[in-house]
Structure 1
């Protein structure tokens, strides 16, 4: 790793900023399951103390995104096949409740917020920015929870969506990755949900969300997974 430090400004990032940047890297699948997060490298990347990095890693471990291995270090968590299936089961339970609630209490302001978000997804797709679109896709689901005014469920969902990114990075079929990069309408399922919300059709919104999550799960090969070495300096530049 080079000695060049990565700084957006002259001020050093706080713990929340470091956490958010690592979380975003996981969401965007830049950090693959099994990637070692060396404390000294992270200290150099974020220009912060080892104590501060350790607090962030403990927080990530608390949210099941990082595994702390004694006498070895911190690693981006790997997810077992059983855990992967449970994550999607949990998402179906939580997100069907969220879309049902939002459909019954939808309004023009909420429609505008979701539509603007989908437009950002479409822009990322047209610009070929796959990582940004992946992150925005996950944030769309979180926005549904926020607009449904369900903060507790949304917080649970935030952790589960992060684990979904780990699962996809570990288990997504090669054919699905190619399809994801070349799909003409990557956000059509999100747009369909908005239409159901506009019609206050809770039953259709629930059905569409289940179909959407099933589609994501069907893109996985829950039999194997691999990862390659990652340069932390390049990820957070």
Structure 2
């Protein structure tokens, strides 16, 4: 067996299992309310039930999964009140992060953000909407990393994940179609980069607020969806 063959057959560790489920949530492959059957996850990831339970408990700790006694684990659903609070929290945290990054912006940081936006645009050209959704969320986390605010970025990571659940649950069909057909899907992110480069903190804050409000305006907070998902098809390969 070659080294590559061993790598392909090696059982994933707990962190990798967590990251793959987290990515599926970020990419909206896992809809709110989806049951995460332990036996299916054990088969998919070739790991023990005890290991899967630890991962599910970790996801529950981050409010991405609900553990229901005598029933099982389910991808979390957000109430309308929770959805609005998540966006309120994002506005509070991310406006602070963009102010911080504006003060310390460098050509290297600009390049890091531009490289990331290029990945978003490539995913859009490839028609890979799920990957672009994940990359879009990670752009916001990268702002926190580049601002050197690890505590705020840690909080933001959880909130960005919950945003993906909220969007999967409440996004209007028209907004979903607009995402798929947008000619310039990353223009708001590029506008932020320009504001950073100009050291214009007020403009950066204004753009971030507009961006987050735009995301929230795409939601129908009077309804929601609940799709049935085949876990094996999501994590196969």
Common fold, TM-score beyond 0.5? yes
Name the structure 2 match of 1:101: 100
Deviation (angstroms), 1:80: 0.2
Name the structure 2 match of 1:4: none
Distance 2:204 2:227 in 1: 38
1:203-222 mapped onto 2 (5 Å cutoff): 203-222=202-221
Helix, strand or coil at the partner of 2:9: coil
CA deviations on 1:39-61 (whole Å, 9 max, x unpaired) are 00000000000000000000000
| Structure 1 position 114 matched with structure 2 position 95 | no
Name the structure 2 match of 1:3: none
Aligned length: 231
Which runs of no fewer than 5 residues in structure 1 stay unpaired? 1-6
Helix, strand or coil at the partner of 2:8: coil
Which runs of no fewer than 5 residues in structure 2 stay unpaired? 1-5
Deviation (angstroms), 1:228: 1.7
Deviation (angstroms), 1:8: 6.9
Helix, strand or coil at the partner of 1:67: strand
Task: Please give the TM-score of this superposition, normalised by the length of structure 1.
Answer: 0.96
Distance 1:217 1:225 in 2: 14
- Root-mean-square deviation (Å): 0.9
Asked if structure 1 preserves the Cα contact closer than 8 Å seen for 2:32 and 2:227, the reply is no
Distance 2:37 2:128 in 1: 27
Helix, strand or coil at the partner of 1:214: helix
Asked if structure 1 preserves the Cα contact closer than 8 Å seen for 2:98 and 2:143, the reply is yes
Distance 2:7 2:31 in 1: 24
CA deviations on 1:199-221 (whole Å, 9 max, x unpaired) are 11101000000000000000000
Task: Please give the TM-score of this superposition, normalised by the length of structure 2.
Answer: 0.96
| Structure 1 position 172 matched with structure 2 position 157 | no
CA deviations on 1:179-200 (whole Å, 9 max, x unpaired) are 0100100100000000000011
Distance 1:8 1:70 in 2: 36
Deviation (angstroms), 1:10: 1.3
CA deviations on 1:135-189 (whole Å, 9 max, x unpaired) are 0000000000000000000000000000000000000001000001001001000
Distance 1:211 1:228 in 2: 30
Could you tell which deviates more after superposition, 224-233 or 211-220?
224-233
Distance 1:125 1:210 in 2: 24
Helix, strand or coil at the partner of 1:184: coil
Moved over 4 A (4+): none
Name the structure 2 match of 1:196: 195
Asked if structure 1 preserves the Cα contact closer than 8 Å seen for 2:172 and 2:219, the reply is yes
Name the structure 1 match of 2:3: none
Asked if structure 1 preserves the Cα contact closer than 8 Å seen for 2:101 and 2:147, the reply is yes
Name the structure 1 match of 2:33: 34
Name the structure 1 match of 2:69: 70
Name the structure 2 match of 1:156: 155
Deviation (angstroms), 1:226: 1.3
Distance 2:176 2:78 in 1: 19
